[in-house]
Amino acid sequence: MRILISAGPTWIKIDDIRIITNIFTGRTGLFLAEEFAKKRRKVTLLINPHCIKNLPRNIKVIPFFYFEELKSKLEKELKNNFYDVIIHTASVSDYKLKRSFKGKVSSGKKEFILKLTPAPKLIKIIRRLTKDSFLIQFKLEIKREKLIKEAFKSLKENKSDLVVANALEDLKPGYKAFVIDKDKNIKEVNSRKELFQTLFRLTTLYFPPRDGNNQFNLRD
């Protein structure tokens, strides 16, 4: 089984030394890549190098820093290779700068206005390029209220097979997530290890064979 995992934050360039990014580290995606590799899955990991530590040798690592880098490398990889499973955990920027600046913007300005425009949704690009892959997306909300509703809505809109829903308030003390399938079956997991075990079980149920009629759900 060939698995592609994206992990880590994307950067948006302000000037040659400043960026806009987010608070996430890619720890979950990195953990999943390591665990799937231990199970003899062939793993490719797209990750911000800021997050990289020692990796098993059987993981192919493709580094990125900026949003456009991830977009370009993701498109190239998916056009040139087929993956049975894609796990999109990367903390992708929702907005990008209308224009960035060369050099270093002077620190003496009294006001510095940045204009942001919506960035392309990478999850939609992934599904367009990989109609036959088993797609697992991640969805984050600040609080648990409406989390399941918004995550399931996102799964349907993006035609994903599973969504892993996180509330920020559940990530600060430890790790908690809700794995949701197309039938809105929900499984709560309370550690990254339990998340991996759930995803491993479900992807193993789905493959093999890939005959277009494979069935699974979280109640199996």
Is 175 domain-assigned? yes
Residue 211 lies in a domain: no
For the residues of 75-135, what is the DSSP string, one character each? HHHHHH---SEEEE--B--SEEES---SS---TT-S-----EEEPP-HHHHHHHH-TTSEE
| Alpha-carbon dihedral sign for residues 6, 7, 11, 16 | negative
Task: Judge residue 118's burial from the number of C-beta atoms within 10 Å of its C-beta, 0-12 exposed, 13-18 middle, 19 or more buried.
Answer: exposed
Residue 220 domain flag: no
pTM, two decimal places? 0.92
Instruction: Please name the residue that has the structure tokens 């960026």.
Output: 19
More reliable by pLDDT, 13 or 207 = 13
Regarding predicted confidence, which is higher, 210 or 200?
200
Determine the average pLDDT of the residues in 146-162.
Answer: 97
Rounded to 10 degrees, the C-alpha dihedral 35/124/132/207 comes to 20
Q: How many domains does the chain have?
A: 1
pLDDT score for 207: 80
**112, part of any domain:** no
Say if 66 falls within a structural domain.
Answer: yes
pLDDT at 158 over 90: yes
Q: How confident is the model at residue 165 (pLDDT cuts 50, 70, 90)?
A: very high
Is the pLDDT assigned to residue 209 strictly greater than 50? no
Phi, psi torsion values for 139, nearest 5 degrees: -135, 125
Confidence at residue 210, expressed as pLDDT on a 0 to 100 scale = 47
Q: How much of the chain, in percent, has pLDDT values that exceed 90?
A: 77
Does residue 106 belong to any structural domain of this protein? no
60: containing domain: 2-95+117-206
Supply the CATH number for residue 78's domain: 3.40.50.10300
Provide the pLDDT for residue 107. 86
**Chain mean pLDDT for the chain:** 92
pLDDT value for 169 = 86
pLDDT at 211 over 60: no
Tokens of residue 199, six digits? 């995803």
Output phi, psi for 50, to 5 deg: -55, -25
Note the pLDDT tens digit of each residue in 82-119.
999 999 999 999 999 988 989 998 888 888 899 999 99
Q: 132-153 burial by CB neighbour count: b if 16+ within 10 A, else e? A: ebbbbbbbbbeeeeebbeebbe
User: Cα(86)–Cα(97) distance, rounded to whole angstroms?
Assistant: 28
Q: For 49-53, what is the mean pLDDT?
A: 78
Is the residue at 145 inside a domain? Answer: yes
pLDDT tops 80 at residue 175? yes
In a domain, residue 219? The reply is no
